[in-house]
A and B are shown apart, each in its own frame.
Chain A
Amino acid sequence: MTKSVPQTGTLKISALDPTRIPVLDPTEVEFLSINSLFLKSIYTVKPQPQRSRAEATSLNLFSPLSEVFESGAITPSSEASDPAQTSPLVKAGIYYEVKKLAANVDSLTGLEKEEEIIGIDHNTSVARAGTVPTYDLIYANDTFRFKLKDNAIEDGDIVSVSLNGTTIVRNHTLTKQGTNFQARLRAGVNIFEIKAETEGAFGVHTLGFETLDSRKAVYDRRTPAQKDGANLRPGEVIRFSLGLPYIEIDGSRFPYAARHVRDVLRRRQIFTIDRSGAERRRALSRRNYLRVQNGTPNPNTRLYQYDEAPPAVFLENAGRGHVRVIPQRDNGGAGSSLGQQLNNYGSDAKRLDNGWKVQFWATPPSVSTPSIVPDVPILWP
Chain B
Amino acid sequence: MSNLSASNLFVASVMSSSLSGKITLSVPHFPGHRAPSDRWEDVHYNQGFLWVPGCIIFDGLTLSRTYWVEVRCAERFDPAPESLRIISVPFTIDDFAVQVMDDLGGGVTIHGFTNGNYQLVYEGRELTDQELAVMPQNELLEPFIVDDIVREYPELMRLTFIPVEELSDAQILKSDEGLSPPAELVLNRLDDFPEL
Contact = CB atoms under 8 A, between A and B. Distances in A.
Contacts of A305: 63
B45 A1 contact: no
Given A328-B45, A337-B38, A275 B104 contact: yes
A374 to B, nearest CB: 15
A5 B170 contact: yes
Nearest to A308: B18
Interface residues on B, range: 35 or more
A313 B88 contact: no
A11 interface: yes
Given A34-B13, A339-B37, A5 B73 contact: no
A19 B121 CA distance: 20
Contact of A1 (B136, B138, B188): B188
Given A22-B114, A349-B32, A339 B20 contact: yes
B30 interface: no
A286 interface: yes
Given A7-B183, A34-B14, A21 B136 contact: no
B149 A13 contact: no
Contacts, number: 223
A19 B65 CA distance: 36
B81 interface: no
A251 to B, nearest CB: 14
Interface residues of A, number: 73
A161 interface: no
Contact of B107 (A16, A34, A311, A333): A34
B11 A32 contact: yes
Contact of A35 (B16, B19, B42): B16
B140 interface: yes
A278 to B, nearest CB: 4
A215 interface: no
B162 interface: yes
Interface in B1-60: 6-16, 18-22, 31-33, 35, 37-38, 40, 42, 45, 59
**Dominant SS at the A interface?**
loop
B73 A21 contact: yes
Interface stretch (A23-31, A84-92, A144-152, A231-239): A23-31
Contacts of B7: 23-26
B196 A128 contact: yes
B80 interface: no
Contacts of B42: 329
Contacts of A351: 105
A243 B59 CA distance: 35
Contacts of A333: 20, 38, 40
Interface of B: 6-16, 18-22, 31-33, 35, 37-38, 40, 42, 45, 59, 62-63, 65-66, 73-77, 88, 102-108, 112-114, 116, 119, 121, 136, 138-140, 144, 146-147, 149-150, 162-166, 168-173, 177-178, 181-189, 191-192, 195-196
17 contacts: A6-B184, A11-B168, A11-B171, A13-B168, A16-B76, A21-B73, A22-B73, A35-B102, A275-B18, A283-B144, A290-B146, A291-B149, A329-B45, A332-B22, A336-B103, A342-B105, A343-B105
Given A7-B171, A275-B104, 7 more contacts: A30-B11, A32-B12, A128-B195, A282-B18, A329-B40, A332-B40, A335-B21
